[in-house]
Amino acid sequence: MMTHAPSHNDTLSPLGIVQAKIAKAAKTAGRKPEDIELIAISKLHPAEAALPLIAEGQRVFGENRVQEALEKWPALIKETPDIRLHCVGQLQSNKAKTAVELFDAIHSVDRPSLIEALARAMDTLDKRPECFIQVNIGEEEQKGGCDIADTKAILKQCRDAGIPIIGLMSVPPLEVEPAPYFALTVKMAHDLGLPAVSIGMSADYELAITLGATHIRVGTALFGHRA
């Protein structure tokens, strides 16, 4: 727990603790906490795990898989209509239409076949969720995301297809210092004229904020470890 905070910090909820750390990291970076979107990643947790966060006012949630989101969120959104849902996992082209229907933002646009499927779905449904291009920032074979060198071409293809790209998303390699990967993602977004950067998870979101994250994807720090 943070030592600088008043003693009531002991009684803060997980959401309260994360919000306090966001505020501190933002202040360190000379930024406003409200400029950072906290996406609560509820993947592999049951719907009821989100209820305490919703009660505390959290409205932005993220899921990795379309099917899981479909089973979990429609009922919760019916109860709390201002919830916004982000798709943060790899997206298969055959799930593009369901994803466009369900999600308010998609973080994993990374290849021509998916761009085509999303464009068709957006045209059919007349709904355009905000999208991020996922960049394979660590150049790892097993990871999703487009190659760093292809990012500009992917962005052009998205724009030509009418897909609203607001930023870049990346996941640094595990077990290494993430700062250089965060910094590179932020620089690439800046160079491409994109305002948003989706970087940082439970272990490193404070660092990501100091380096320029606009969206952070926090699961374990809010929900605890998954069973």
**Per-residue 3-state assignment (H helix, E strand, C coil) for the chain:** CCCCCCHHHHHCCHHHHHHHHHHHHHHHCCCCHHHCEEEEECCCCCHHHHHHHHHCCCCEEEECCHHHHHHHHHHHHHHCCCCEEEECCCCCHHHHHHHHHHCCEEEEECCHHHHHHHHHHHHHHCCCCEEEEEECCCCCCCCCCECHHHHHHHHHHHHHCCCCEEEEEECCCCCCCCHHHHHHHHHHHHHCCCCEEECCCCCCHHHHHHHCCCEEEECHHHHCCCC
Residue 166 CA to residue 191 CA, distance in Å, equals 13
Residue 73 domain flag: yes
Residue 116 domain flag: yes
Residue 192 domain flag: yes
Residue 6 domain flag: no
CATH code, domain carrying 86: 3.20.20.10
Residue 148 domain flag: yes
Residue 29 domain flag: yes
Note the maximum CA span of the chain. Answer: 54
- Residue 7 is predicted with a pLDDT of 46
Q: How many domains does the chain have?
A: 1
What is the full per-residue pLDDT of the chain (227 aa) written as tens digits?
Answer: 444 444 455 689 999 999 999 999 999 999 999 999 999 999 999 999 999 999 999 999 999 999 999 999 999 999 999 999 999 999 999 999 999 999 999 999 999 999 999 999 999 999 999 999 999 999 999 899 999 999 999 999 999 999 999 999 999 999 999 999 999 999 999 999 999 999 999 999 999 999 999 999 999 999 998 76
- Residue 142 is predicted with a pLDDT of 86
Residue 171 domain flag: yes
Residue 111 has, within 13 A of its CA and on its CB side, a CA count of: 11
- Residue 225 is predicted with a pLDDT of 87
- Residue 50 is predicted with a pLDDT of 97
- Residue 226 is predicted with a pLDDT of 75
- Residue 211 is predicted with a pLDDT of 98
pTM score: 0.94
Pairing of strands 130-135, 105-109: parallel
Residue 118 domain flag: yes
Whether residue 150 contacts residue 188, with contact meaning beta carbons closer than 8 Å, is answered with: no
Give the structural domain span for 173: 13-223
